[in-house]
Amino acid sequence: MLARGVSRTCVRGSSGLVQQGMLARPAAASRASSVRAYALSVGDKLPEAKFRYFDSEGNMKELGTEQLCKGKKVVLFAVPGAFTPTCSMKHLPGFIEKAEEIKSRGVDAIGCVSVNDAFVMDAWGKSVGAGDKVLMLADGNGQFAKALGVELDLADKGLGLRSRRYALLAEDQVVKVLNLEEGGAFTVSSADAILEALA
């Protein structure tokens, strides 16, 4: 049964399951023990959290979820870590490359979220040419990841608490599309997948 207010939007998980209105829970065998069952579903309102980023003049700014998303159509995608191979070679570059096309379909802003500090996110964005195409949003303390229920414990790799990889589309703060990966996998959260959802 769908929760009240959940839309019939298609949601994709990396297990290959596709449902309307909510994301299918992965089978217990494929669920990593270090990953908590997530809480976010299509139809949910994004929780309020504060991100930090550097503006074009080099000033650190704070940006809340409501300020970013209220009355707007926004794409947010999260990565386990700045400068890591898949994130730097595929995930972020894909959104930079497709940013114009995504925005031409009514999207007001695209944000890359990671549990890193704003200095790291700024340096990473500059290294791959994010410019004004993608906002580099630092979820420094993992506040947003925890609020979504998508935290990823990578302490055994010396990386501490991070976020699972995902891409979502929100309209006026409400989640319309949610493509959530298992751990750090990269199968359903690409820019092309978001473009497909916007078609």
Check if 87 is active-site. yes
Asked if 43 and 21 count as a contact pair (C-beta separation under 8 A), the reply is yes
Picking from 121, 135, 112, 130, the residue whose alpha carbon sits closest to that of residue 189 is 112
Asked if 109 and 68 count as a contact pair (C-beta separation under 8 A), the reply is yes
Angle 108-112-113 (CA atoms, 0-180°, nearest 5)?
A: 125
Asked if 55 and 61 count as a contact pair (C-beta separation under 8 A), the reply is yes
Contacts for 108 with CB less than 8 Å, ≥ 6 apart: 72, 73, 74
As to burial, measured by CB atoms within 10 angstroms (0-12 exposed, 13-18 middle, 19+ buried), residue 41 is middle
Asked if 19 and 185 count as a contact pair (C-beta separation under 8 A), the reply is no
Active site residues: 87
